Structure 1
């Protein structure tokens, strides 16, 4: 077991957030931690870092130990050469929970964080007490046909070609990331501090390579998801939350394979739910996780 090495903490609203580097699964993971109580693990997506959860951490930390890592290759975590498939990312999550002394956690995933959160729960239901999945698809599982009627989003193909996107975008990272941040909040944008942190995290050819490696691993991730549902069901209590553009597609994928599923659609909300509509998301999370505290 690896001990987390703390660095100086800082104040963020009512929550004291400490940053740590945790060795797990052959890499060093940068992780923000706040609060005490049952663990809640928050897995971000693209183009985010742990700061995606900035508006939610103070509220969640009132009753939970909130654990928000930079995923492999993102932010201040190791820019690994490989391991961007959902199965390896699920192992990352399991191993750094062990390193932090947490036998189990409620797990929340959005965008690229959703497939590893799902596989973690499928493979180790003894370690995932409750599961929240948002604004993503799970491989090629049925249920997303309507969302994919006109094909996948344009950037999936662009990001998937080795070396292409990072070559084209080098020197123009800010403009590119801003497009996703604007679209993901339906034009409302982010506070400058968080926007600048995201842009900085994705600036440079190697940072872009890591980000696009998630897309290049999508075929492997899809096979892992398919293998998991062919040999088992999702048994942990699960909540699917949609907004724009994914809507209820993820919920429809989960419905046939999940024993205990609750679905929600947040109106007037962009893809980046935790920063666009934290006012709507936090009550859903706290209510769902309250049952975990009573268990």
Structure 2
């Protein structure tokens, strides 16, 4: 394996799905995935031990999200992604658009706040630090759409259409840092939109949908730009290993098609989740209104009965 020049060169057999899914155990993401699942499981067990319930669907969603990260980073997909633009784009799309949605639907922040004990009045413990972070000015800035949408877009255009991508792909550390960035950007972008966990920026459901659709077209345009390009746009993938028997321009066009098609999948998932959350919210509001109406009705009935009693007393 050579780390010199533009990225890595390695002898790999032609790509097949079976070869791509072979476990390689990239240490950074493997350890991160195991720790994430272990901490989440510990918090769920802690809630259960004290008699609190935690939805199984949230646990399944979070674990599935972690597994999608491990799937693209801890298998041979990661190695092929260093020399094939199309495979790299699958990694990018999954880790920045699918994994964050699944992780956020698992409500890890809500679980953390429920599992951590309160330090008591006047004291500061882990739970209080998390609450302070959620209400901090820093968090208000990075979850505001004026920040999240440009960051989401810049992560595509400023990275792939400048020399920054080639620089990061020139080393293993740079590649890992780029993938961590993709995951972080996805989490920051979808967090205010999904609205499961508490956060400083929590717009109405219509505004959340607008935020979602404000970013997605740029993904589609990016994919179309790659599909229509007549020459390789990224030096890293301009000279793939001869063992792959790969035409770099065809592979770049395939990468563009993946980016274009993938912009639709998260949109549908998030839209379905938002509609469901909206429906649940309306149901809760209707129940609260009904209970308030019942209480008001009871008060009116009590007042009427008191009035009748006063009339009866006067008659005596």
TM-score (normalised: structure 2): 0.26
Higher strand proportion, which one? 1
Which has more radius of gyration? 2
Higher helix proportion, which one? 2
TM-score (normalised: structure 1): 0.28
Which structure is richer in relative contact order (CA contacts within 8 A, separation 6 or more)? 2
